[in-house]
Structure 1
Amino acid sequence: MIDMSIGLGTGKILTVLALNAHHHQLCPVAPGLQDLHCMAVSVADSWTGESIAAFLDRLIASAGRPAAYLKDGGTDLQKAIHLLGAQGLASPCIDDISHVIANLLKWWYQDHPLFETFLSACGRVSGKLKQTVLACLAPPKVQTKARFMNVHRLIRWAEQLLRLSPAGGARKGSTLSKLRACLDRLPSCRAFIKRFRDDAVPLLECQKIFKARGLSHSTIAQCEPFIQAIGSSPVRREFVAYLQNQLQIAAKLGLDHIGLPVTSDPIESLFGLGKFHGTGEIKDANRIALRLPALCGTPTRAEAEQVIKISVAEEQQITGRFTSLVKQRREVLPHPDRLESLSTEQAGTHLELIASAKNRENNGKILYIPISYKETHGPQLQCQTGHG
């Protein structure tokens, strides 16, 4: 499971987590952080397909080749996996279902003539409702980045809000009349709202099933009524094509009757937790990345005791070699003459964590974390190529 996240400053965090491919055989619910092991974390000023491929190549040399990659639709990640395949290190690529559905809705609706009208109306309605007696009816907040991951929440809200204003007159000064004064152009978007809902709701019902039980012959059969209920035939056709493609990967891995994991939600949760716990006001990428491995899996008593024994001096010795926004802030703000030092920081001062190798490189910039995914519970996937 691979993804990237950002903190403050130039650092961008690349994280690789390991999930047992047989998770849905071992557990009846969607995978969580307790089911994952952090295999590698690295911070860089920027990531390209080439640099990601080089990093994964080092990880493969240390921990072995994965049965498959699970990722979102990022082009850099896609290019990296393609480059590894060209080097003879190919593994199947599983596309996260949330991003697939969001991209389907984006492909079909972003150029719809009423889409921007709907979003603008939602913004104006929000402004009119806030700081009034009707504030509880304000729309949910939807980020502009990755908008189609959450735009269905706005659709559901708008549909419910319009139900509060049925046809007919409203007494002057009544709550209904006040609400209608706030609706802006939302009533003119009723047809668009219904059309979007007819596509999004069945897709999201399928998403719930596949996230919880994985993608298999049985879960596809369970989702068939929802698939047939998708309103737009092009959207339905593209979604079926995605399912068939992923089912072929599941069959190749021997998981088509068990359930192929198709959600990368845990890694998104990991980034959220990493930015919240122990980072303080300044969300330094290196500081965040250093904590990510500890938030995965369930630590043993021996591991907890090992952490307790680490002294403050040892901790500072490890973390002191990496670029720190907090340290830079303390050094520069009281000393204006040191401003130029921010542009002359030496390269190669970012954090990198890699699961322990049998033969460790003599590289002072890399910290090795003793993770052995082979010790996890349950049967291990063995492919014909021999990698686990």
Structure 2
Amino acid sequence: MRARLKATIFRLHRRIHKNTRQRRRLKDQVRHRDAMIAKLQAQVRELQAITAPQPVFNCVYPAQMMALAVYIILHGGSLRCAAATAGFYAELMGWHYSAPSWKTASNWVQRCGLHALGLTHGLKGEYVGILDASIEVGKEQLLLLLGVKADAAAQQRPLRIEDVSVLGMEVQQSWTGAAVADFIQRNMRLRPGASLSYVVCDQGANLLAALRSLGLPWVSDCSHVMMNLAKALFKDDVALSRLYAQVGTLRQQLALTDWSFILPPSLRDKDRFLRIFTLVGWMGRIDSYWPMLPASMRARLSFCRGVWLRLRLSQFYSLLALTASVLKSRGLSADSYAEWRAQVNGYRITQHVMTRQANAFIDGMDTYFASYASWYEEGRQVLCCSDIIESIFGRYKNKGGMKAISADVLSIALYNQPITLQFIQQAMKNVTGPQLRQWQKENVCHNRFGLRKRMEKELKSGEG
């Protein structure tokens, strides 16, 4: 009896232990399931928050559609393309928003640009200014002032768009020295915490007159210095002019033939360095093709094989590229001058003879370094390249659409601005339509396209 009772108790204990293990396993499964449910619910809430239309103060459209349209316009898309794409995006997301008009998309960009421009009012510290007026678009000129933080100017690399801030922009029919000086003063008063240590610019008479009147030191842009040397050395070169003509004739003869692949790129009428870069690159390409060309084609291309002209062009090209790589990345300093001299001397050793143009270019750049020796002998690195402002002008001019300057210049202030939903919401809240129109009235002159459009509208209304 006792033995049977013990056996029964033992079986009960085993059953209890087994049930306990099962309950623990089930509890673990429930906890794991609950954790997965909570994780999935959090992900759903996160995705819902991302995909839900983000409201914008006093605006019909959500921030996502605005951000998409602004981004497309800033990266070269047309206004109508940006508006249509924003409408298609709303349709994909299942939102009940129609596509905005192109005018609405343009207004978004301008309000965001004015907000970004206003953010620079709080800048503090010492800045290097980069100043230039754009080449005419229509009949208007955009005067643009960029600021580079002093520590960014001392970096051992060329400037990037992220390094600069827009300190001022204004559009006028023309810019006198007095007008430029007033422009600089007004915009720096809006930024009391920032100061200009010196300004990099080309040698435009109006810009230099303004800087002299304000007592601001300036540095001549190295690209314009090298461009002026190129013009002085090759502008009246008879052999180079003959080469231009022969290249033009060759393009006419071979443009629609099977040999069109050997043609050089079209030679731009306006080229900083007299199309020397284009010609030297093309002649190098012809050299690589030469062994594979038939005798008849070699005869037609023999004009580009002239030894002396090629030597003059190639030496100037090599020295210019060498100098640009030093100045655009390291600026004017004792170290950059020593490096430039070492590279020039190394290049001399590789040449059997140095042409007059090559020696003149070296002497010209020696003079350029010497003119700022008192600056960099103090141990500082002097920024001397304004290519970044030329890049900004080029990006703006290639935006497509009507070739006139209007309030859309405010898009320039967005080139270095991350386009986030928070930025869009702040811009639309802080910048109103009346504020935008006031800025346009004060900083943008009437362009001829706008005047013509207004006159046509008035004529049509008069006919009715």
Q: Any conservation in 1 of the 2:276–2:317 contact (CA below 8 Å)?
A: no
Correspondent of 1:57 among 174, 182, 185: 185
Question: Residue 387 of structure 2 aligns with which residue?
Answer: 265
Counterpart mapping for 1:66-215 below 5 A: 66-82=196-212, 84=213, 89-148=214-273, 150-162=275-287, 164-165=289-290, 175-180=293-298, 182-183=300-301, 185-187=303-305, 189-215=306-332
5+ unaligned residues in a row in structure 2: which ranges? Answer: 1-129, 349-353
Alpha-carbon distance between aligned partners in 2 of 1:332 and 1:276, rounded to the nearest angstrom? 27
Alpha-carbon distance between aligned partners in 2 of 1:50 and 1:143, rounded to the nearest angstrom? 34
Alpha-carbon distance between aligned partners in 1 of 2:318 and 2:373, rounded to the nearest angstrom? 22
Q: Any conservation in 1 of the 2:140–2:447 contact (CA below 8 Å)?
A: no
Alpha-carbon distance between aligned partners in 1 of 2:202 and 2:245, rounded to the nearest angstrom? 28
Correspondent of 2:174 among 40, 43, 46: 46
Question: Residue 238 of structure 1 aligns with which residue?
Answer: 364
Alpha-carbon distance between aligned partners in 2 of 1:44 and 1:183, rounded to the nearest angstrom? 48
Counterpart AA for 1:52 = V
Query: Matched residue of 1:42: which SS?
Result: strand
1:284 equivalent to 2:404? Answer yes
Counterpart AA for 2:201 = K
Alpha-carbon distance between aligned partners in 2 of 1:139 and 1:338, rounded to the nearest angstrom? 52
Q: Using CA pairs below 8 Å that are at least 6 residues apart, which structure has the higher relative contact order? A: 1
Q: Any conservation in 2 of the 1:15–1:41 contact (CA below 8 Å)?
A: yes
Name which of structure 1's ranges 30-39 and 303-312 shifts more when overlaid on structure 2: 303-312
Alpha-carbon distance between aligned partners in 2 of 1:119 and 1:216, rounded to the nearest angstrom? 38
Which has the higher Rg, Structure 1 or Structure 2? 2
Residues 1:142 and 1:305: Cα distance change in structure 2 (over 3 Å): farther
Residues 1:48 and 1:320: Cα distance change in structure 2 (over 3 Å): closer
Query: After superposition, what is the alpha-carbon deviation per residue over 1:287-310, rounded to whole angstroms, capped at 9, x for unaligned?
Result: 442221121355787544322447
- Count of residues in Structure 1 that have an aligned counterpart in Structure 2: 319
Counterpart AA for 1:79 = A
Alpha-carbon distance between aligned partners in 2 of 1:332 and 1:138, rounded to the nearest angstrom? 47
Query: Matched residue of 2:158: which SS?
Result: coil
5+ unaligned residues in a row in structure 1: which ranges? Answer: 167-173, 340-388
Q: Any conservation in 2 of the 1:6–1:285 contact (CA below 8 Å)?
A: no
Deviation at 1:46, TM superposition (A): 0.8
Deviation at 1:242, TM superposition (A): 0.4
Query: After superposition, what is the alpha-carbon deviation per residue over 1:272-325, rounded to whole angstroms, capped at 9, x for unaligned?
Result: 222344xx5103212442221121355787544322447885587457745366
Deviation at 1:79, TM superposition (A): 2.4
| Superposition TM-score, scaled by structure 1 size | 0.71
Alpha-carbon distance between aligned partners in 1 of 2:181 and 2:274, rounded to the nearest angstrom? 27
Counterpart AA for 1:9 = G
Correspondent of 2:339 among 222, 230, 252: 222
Counterpart mapping for 1:208-357 below 5 A: 208-228=325-345, 229=347, 231=354, 232-251=358-377, 254-255=379-380, 259-277=381-399, 280-296=400-416, 303-309=423-429, 313=433, 317-318=437-438, 321=441, 323=446, 327-333=450-456
Counterpart AA for 1:154 = L
Query: After superposition, what is the alpha-carbon deviation per residue over 1:316-367, rounded to whole angstroms, capped at 9, x for unaligned?
Result: 745774536665454445665799xxxxxxxxxxxxxxxxxxxxxxxxxxxx
Alpha-carbon distance between aligned partners in 2 of 1:271 and 1:316, rounded to the nearest angstrom? 22
What's the % identity of the aligned pairs?
22
Query: Matched residue of 1:148: which SS?
Result: coil
Kindly report the root-mean-square deviation, in angstroms, between the aligned alpha carbons of the 2 structures.
3.2
Residues 1:134 and 1:184: Cα distance change in structure 2 (over 3 Å): same
Alpha-carbon distance between aligned partners in 2 of 1:194 and 1:124, rounded to the nearest angstrom? 23
Query: Matched residue of 1:123: which SS?
Result: helix
Structure holding more helix per residue: 2
Query: Matched residue of 1:114: which SS?
Result: helix
Name which of structure 1's ranges 206-215 and 32-41 shifts more when overlaid on structure 2: 206-215
Q: Any conservation in 2 of the 1:98–1:149 contact (CA below 8 Å)?
A: no
Query: Matched residue of 2:301: which SS?
Result: coil
Query: Matched residue of 1:2: which SS?
Result: strand
Q: Any conservation in 2 of the 1:18–1:38 contact (CA below 8 Å)?
A: yes
Counterpart AA for 1:183 = L
Residues 1:74 and 1:316: Cα distance change in structure 2 (over 3 Å): closer
Query: Matched residue of 1:68: which SS?
Result: strand
Deviation at 1:268, TM superposition (A): 1.1
Residues 1:213 and 1:316: Cα distance change in structure 2 (over 3 Å): closer
Alpha-carbon distance between aligned partners in 2 of 1:319 and 1:58, rounded to the nearest angstrom? 14
Counterpart AA for 1:268 = E
